[in-house]
Amino acid sequence: MTGFIGIMPVMRVTDLDASIAWYQRSVNAELCWRAANDGGGENCLLRAGAVTLMLSTGEHLGSKPSFSGTLYFNTVNVRDLYERINGQVQIVWPLEAMSYGTIEFGIRDPDGYVLAFAERTNG
């Protein structure tokens, strides 16, 4: 039987250097690799903890960055992360306890993607 074990977002960005620097500075992402994309542009793989995400300037993802949802990252020590980056990034919603059992906050990256960081507070 097939089962999912993870997900890796691939996100179109306008300036790969600026995006790499932003993710390194804000969420301590590590640059794993960077290479030319076969169809033009460049790709890179970033890792933060057990999570990976790919950034790309390739036209195969469209002409401009777009996504109509929120990428949620399950996080430990979410309060520490919030305190470290508050005032350095655009906050979409502040750190708060949610009725569905998380404490979380949301930010916007340089290309407009909304990223949420959540920590479970109950089972």
pTM equals 0.89
**What pLDDT digit, counting tens, does each position of 38-59 carry?**
888 999 999 999 999 999 998 8
pLDDT on residue 26: 95
Angle at 38 between CA 20 and CA 5, to 5 degrees: 65
CA-CA distances (angstroms) from residue 15 to 34, 36, 65, 86?
13, 14, 11, 23
Task: Give all domains of the chain, ordered by start, each with its CATH number.
Answer: 10-120 (3.10.180.10)
Do 14 and 111 meet the contact criterion of CB atoms below 8 Å apart? yes
Q: How far apart are the first and last CA of the chain?
A: 27
At residue 67, does pLDDT exceed 90? no
DSSP state of 86: B
Dump pLDDT digits (tens) for 69-103.
899 999 999 999 999 999 999 999 999 999 999 99
Residue type, 96: E
